[in-house]
């Protein structure tokens, strides 16, 4: 083999290692989150009252709105940090953390103060039975106190990922979700508490993770005092704040639209009855596993695309997109195969109620299809987040919602729960198609400077 032929092969190997070393810890970190949701569902699924499953499902949707509505604190932080890292700007790396950290504390405190009207508004949007709503309300009253710690954790996690410290992020997430799972089992299985025990476990775990995360950040920021000089003046600079607000607002709209789509799915499930709601709640746990798995390579694309933008490296940008896409597709195929082979057995782990098991198994094929359809939307999300092209993300998600809602209105009356799952599948496909339309302009915007490596 000639030297010229060997060079592309070495570069391909380097990029594969780079992507895997980023995505591997992120996937493990991400999978701990739906594992927590699975344990929550499984724990209450073995309580005497089956309405607790629906209560956790609705409560989880409410907190998805409240907390992941502010997911821009993670996404925007990763994008700005990755670009500062790619540009080699140590001072901007500090600014990229301090701004979202302060914003997270302020927003978390506001959520706690407004918990009364927030709860009334949130539960007014659902149409579940009184028993299910009572369970969800009990969960909400406890879990709401985790808000400040949760948003601080988002900012810290986003900053660590932007620094390519995926292993550190993994440790933090494993501590958070591992402690939560242990406390779940202790409070509900060991002590016999009800759904409030599940919520309290989350509150304690979020606070513990926030304290650990802040300790890690302080250790990483030691040294290089010149980078900290005048840092607070930079934090409050107008141009930087305007960019932060613009990107975060777009990401807020994008995220709330996505969460609304899944909240609407849960609401439509509730309208179909308590049994479809419980079955779909279990299947949505599988969807979360799919999402968090595929997000590993999406996060890798997010970090590497942000680095390439900061360095003005179009060649590196394209290589990151290609390699992350190939790995993401491979993982999607593995996930589909695992669900096809082991789905019924996994469903049985979630509940001892035979009617709920049968309901979930009837709609399992939609989850087998899901990773193959949604992998492209996850990948493109990561690319656009890392390059802070937030307006395209916002517009693509709104266009996708405009496909999803009419699909629900047309298909659910005709096909019932199958129509609901078909509409959700069309929504995931629309996200990829709409972002794909914005991609050529993004590619042209990346500088053409050759890669340093």
Q: Give which of 83, 98, 68 is closest to 302, Cα–Cα.
A: 83
Q: Is 301:379 a contact under the CB 8 Å cutoff?
A: yes
Among candidates 73, 69, 114, which has minimal Cα distance to 97? 73
pLDDT digits (tens, 9 = 90+) for 13-46: 687 888 888 777 777 766 655 555 566 667 776 6
Confidence of residue 334 (pLDDT cuts 50, 70, 90): very high
3 pLDDT above the threshold of 60: no
Distance between CA atoms of 221 and 156, rounded to whole angstroms?
Answer: 13
Residue 450's pLDDT is 43
Per-residue confidence band for 409, with pLDDT thresholds at 50, 70 and 90: very high
Mean pLDDT computed over 205-226: 83
Percentages helix, strand, coil for the chain (3-state, rounded to 5) are: 90, 0, 10
Contact (CB, 8 A) for 369 and 425: yes
Identify which of 76, 57, 131 has the alpha carbon closest to the alpha carbon of residue 248: 76
Confidence of residue 228 (pLDDT cuts 50, 70, 90): low
State the DSSP string of 257-319. HHHHHHHHHHHHHHHH-HHHHHHHHHHHHHHHHHHHHHHHHHHHHHHHHHHHHHHTBHHHHHH
Q: What Rg do the C-alpha atoms of the chain give, in angstroms?
A: 22
Structure tokens at 259: 């969460």
Question: What are the C-alpha distances in Å from 71 to residues 65, 76, 259, 316, 350?
Answer: 10, 8, 11, 27, 28
Instruction: Provide the pLDDT for residue 400.
Output: 96
| C-alpha separations of 228 from 93, 188, 244 in Å | 10, 46, 20
- What whole-number distance in Å separates Cα of residue 188 and Cα of residue 179? 14
448: helix, strand or coil: strand
Of 172, 181, 158, 182, give the one whose Cα is nearest residue 208: 172
Mean pLDDT on 343-356: 80
Q: What is the dihedral of CA 328, 331, 333, 338, to 10 degrees?
A: -150
Rounded to whole angstroms, the Cα distance separating 384 from 438 reads 9
- Return the number of other C-beta atoms located less than 10 Å from residue 334's C-beta: 12
Determine the pLDDT at residue 84: 81
More confident site: 125 or 378? 378
Q: Which residues pair with 313 in a beta bridge?
A: 448
Computed over every residue of the chain, the mean pLDDT equals: 81
Can you spell out the DSSP letters for 167-206? HHHHHHHHHHHHHHHHHHIIIIIIS---HHHHHHHHHHHH
CB 311 within 8 A of CB 82: no
pLDDT in tens, 236-294: 777 777 777 788 788 888 888 988 898 889 888 888 888 888 888 888 888 888 887 88
pLDDT digits (tens, 9 = 90+) for 72-120: 787 778 888 888 887 777 777 888 888 888 888 999 999 999 988 887 8
* Cα distance between residue 123 and residue 288, in whole Å: 22
pLDDT band at 366 (very low <50, low <70, confident <90, very high): very high
Residues contacting residue 248 through CB under 8 Å, at least 6 positions apart: 72, 73, 76, 103, 390
Which has the higher per-residue pLDDT, 259 or 426? Answer: 426
Task: Annotate 405-441 with three-state secondary structure.
Answer: HHHHHHHHHHHCHHHHHHHHHHHHHHHHHHHHHHHHH
């Amino acid at each position: 083999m000639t030297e010229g032929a060997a060079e592309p092969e070495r570069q391909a190997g380097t990029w594969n290692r780079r992507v895997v070393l980023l995505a591997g810890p992120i996937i493990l970190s991400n999978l701990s989150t739906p594992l927590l949701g699975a344990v929550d569902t499984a724990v209450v699924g073995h309580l005497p009252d089956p309405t607790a499953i629906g209560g956790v499902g609705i409560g989880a949707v409410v907190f998805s709105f409240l907390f992941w509505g502010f997911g821009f604190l993670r996404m925007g932080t990763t994008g700005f940090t990755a670009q500062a890292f790619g540009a080699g700007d140590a001072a901007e790396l500090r600014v990229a953390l301090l701004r979202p950290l302060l914003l997270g504390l302020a927003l978390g405190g506001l959520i706690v103060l407004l918990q009364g009207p927030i709860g009334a508004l949130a539960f007014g949007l659902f149409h579940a039975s009184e028993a299910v709503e009572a369970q969800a309300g009990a969960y909400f009253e406890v879990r709401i106190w985790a808000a400040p710690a949760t948003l601080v954790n988002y900012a810290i996690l986003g900053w660590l990922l932007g620094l390519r410290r995926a292993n550190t992020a993994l440790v933090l997430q494993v501590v958070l979700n591992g402690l939560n799972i242990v406390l779940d089992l202790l409070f509900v299985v060991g002590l016999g508490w009800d759904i409030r025990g599940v919520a309290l476990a989350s509150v304690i775990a979020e606070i513990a993770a926030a304290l650990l995360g802040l300790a890690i950040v302080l250790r990483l920021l030691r040294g290089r005092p010149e980078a900290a000089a005048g840092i607070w003046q930079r934090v409050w600079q107008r141009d930087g704040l305007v960019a932060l607000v613009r990107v975060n607002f777009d990401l807020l709209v994008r995220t709330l639209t996505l969460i609304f789509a899944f909240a609407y799915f849960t609401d439509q499930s509730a309208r179909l009855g308590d049994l479809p709601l419980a079955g779909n709640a279990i299947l949505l746990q599988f969807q979360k596993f799919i999402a968090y798995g595929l997000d590993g390579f999406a996060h890798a694309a997010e970090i590497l695309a942000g680095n390439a933008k900061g360095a003005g490296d179009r060649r590196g940008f394209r290589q990151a997109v290609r390699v992350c896409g190939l790995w993401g597709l491979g993982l999607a195929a593995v996930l589909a195969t695992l669900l096809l082979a082991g789905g019924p057995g996994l469903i049985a782990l979630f509940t001892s109620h035979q009617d709920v098991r049968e309901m979930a198994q009837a709609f399992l094929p939609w989850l087998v299809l899901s990773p193959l359809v949604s992998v492209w939307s996850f990948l493109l999300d990561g690319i656009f987040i890392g390059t802070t092209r937030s307006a395209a993300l916002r517009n693509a998600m709104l266009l996708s919602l405009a496909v999803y809602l009419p699909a629900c209105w047309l298909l659910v009356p005709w096909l019932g729960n199958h129509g609901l799952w078909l509409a959700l599948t069309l929504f995931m496909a629309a996200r990829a198609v709409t972002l794909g339309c914005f991609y050529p302009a993004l590619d042209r915007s990346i500088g053409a400077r050759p890669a340093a490596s």
